[in-house]
Amino acid sequence: MSTTVTAPRGQEKQQQEAPIGSRWRVLLTPLAVLLVGAATIGYTRFAELDSTEARSLSLGFLADKLWEHIGLTTISTVLVLAIALPLGVLVSRRWMRWSTPAVLGIANVGQATPPVGAIVLLAATVGIGFWPAIIALVVYSVLPALRNTMVGLQQVDAALIDAARGIGMPAWRVLAKIELPLAVPVILAGIRTTLVLNVGVAALAGFIGAGGLGEIVVAGVNTSRPVTLLVGSILIALLALLVDWIAGLVTKALQPKGL
């Protein structure tokens, strides 16, 4: 050993935690969501409501719709991931590379499709209700998720894959040990987007009687009740912000070290 070297000092600083100042800021979003949420619900308790408003703003009804909304979002997201992740991996294999432009092209057209159009089309062909809404949600958000998985895998430095193959890793190990872990940041960001997107699209499910907080908004517009409309809108917005916040935390926690 002729020259034992030590690591440059400057780089150690980067390892340290973020300054304390930004820690409480992490809690800002849930606090604000809780505060606005409580104020909104509180208002519906104390304000004078007519019978139409009272029906669609009762605590039990709100809780039901919230629960349905979460159900729509979670089930559709899980299905989307179950389809998009394996498919994205498959399409990114070397022997499937020819299909990349076609898949990306379809994904682009898919993104140009208005989500409300997708939902109504499903209702007009399959029928109304929960499961047609789920199908519409999955159809709508599977393409961006698929594209994210593909992009995530494609942006992995080709030199690293070459190095992995060069030291004798079989293809499956290159995928499991190198490509997927390195694609995790992009894939996770994609999942977060999918999740938030699905909260929004799930709101549109209210149009086809599939439940969810969207129904409150629809009821508000159809019955010309601004309070109902406002409460429904606020709750959807708060749910989206909360889901985004949780997904953000999970994304950070699952980030591979060293990147």
Partner 1 sequence: MPESTETPQSLAELAADGERTGGVPIELIDVVKRFSGTKGAAVDDLTMTIPAGEIVVLLGPSGCGKTTTMRMINRLIEPTSGRILIGGLDARAQKPDELRRHIGYVIQQAGLFPHLTVGSNIAQVPQMLGWEKDRISARVDELLELVGLAPDEFRDRYPRQLSGGQQQRVGVARALAADPPVMLMDEPFGALDPITRENLQDELLRLQDELSKTIVFVTHDVDEALKLGDRIAILGTGSKIVQYATAEEILTNPADSYVEQFIGGESAMKLLKLTRVSDVALEQAVRATEADSAADVRRKLEEAESDWVIVLDAQDRPLRWESLADLEGATGTIGDLTAGEDDLFDTVISGRATLQEAVEALLNAEAEVVPVVGRRRRYVGAVTLSTVQQAIAEIKERERRQRKQRAAEAQPGVAV
Partner 2 sequence: MTLWEYIASRSDMLAFQTLQHASMIAQCVLIATLIGVALGIAVYRNERATALATGTTSLIFTIPSLALLGLLVVPLGLGVWPSVTAITLYALLPILRNTIVGLTGVDSSLVDAARGIGMSRTRVLTRVQLPLAWPVILSGVRTATQLAMGIGAIAAFVSGPGLGDQIFSGLARVGAANALNATLVGVIGIVVLALIFDAVLVLVGKLTTSRGIRIHA
The region of 21-29, 99-107, 154-162, 221-229 touching partner 1 under the rule CB under 8 A is: 154-162
Q: Is 257 in the site for partner 1 (CB under 8 A)?
A: yes
Q: Is 18 in the site for partner 2 (CB under 8 A)?
A: no
| Contact criterion met (CB below 8 Å) for 150 and 124 | no
The region of 53-61, 93-101, 153-161, 199-207 touching partner 2 under the rule CB under 8 A is: 199-207
Structure tokens at 49: 């409501």
Count of residues in contact with partner 2, rule CB under 8 A: 39
Q: Toward partner 2, which CB reaches closer, 107 or 169? A: 107
Taking alpha carbons only, the member of 196, 225, 230 closest to residue 213 is 230
Q: Is 258 in the site for partner 1 (CB under 8 A)?
A: yes
Tokens 């629809």 belong to 218
Taking alpha carbons only, the member of 101, 47, 6, 5 closest to residue 230 is 47
Q: Is 181 in the site for partner 1 (CB under 8 A)?
A: yes
CA 47 from centroid of its chain's CA atoms: 35
Structure tokens at 46: 């104390």
Q: Is 250 in the site for partner 2 (CB under 8 A)?
A: no
Residues 137-196 that bind partner 2 (CB under 8 A): 196
Q: Toward partner 2, which CB reaches closer, 114 or 170? A: 114
**Local structure of 90: helix, strand or coil:** helix
Q: Is 117 in the site for partner 2 (CB under 8 A)?
A: yes
- In order, the DSSP letters of 195-232 are HHHHHHHHHHGGGGT--STHHHHHHHHHTT-HHHHHHH
Shortest Å, Cβ 62 to partner 2? 15
State the residues that interact with partner 1 by CB under 8 A.
1-8, 11-12, 15, 157, 159-160, 162-170, 173, 177-178, 181-182, 256-259
